[in-house]
Amino acid sequence: MPHSYPYHLQWLNKDGDIIVSQQVKVKFSIRKYEDQILCDIILMEACHIL
């Protein structure tokens, strides 16, 4: 989904600004615990939930 307040990041690569303009809701569970978090999306060479 579109980010409600897009912003720029500079420190992630040497090529210049990265615009954070998208978000996603991620649902997860650990045993009986269930939750969802809202994550910002950026292009990366590896993917992790940080």
At residue 49, the pLDDT reads 60
Q: Which residues partner with 12 through β-bridges?
A: none
Q: What is the mean pLDDT of the chain?
A: 85
Residue 50 has pLDDT above 60, yes or no: no
At residue 46, the pLDDT reads 63
- Structural domain boundaries of the chain? 1-28
Residue 5 has pLDDT above 70, yes or no: yes
Eight-state DSSP code of residue 46: S
Q: Which residues partner with 41 through β-bridges?
A: 22
| Nearest-angstrom CA–CA distance, 9 and 47 | 17
Query: Taking the model in full, what pTM does it have?
Result: 0.65
- Specify whether the CB–CB gap between 20 and 38 falls below 8 A: no
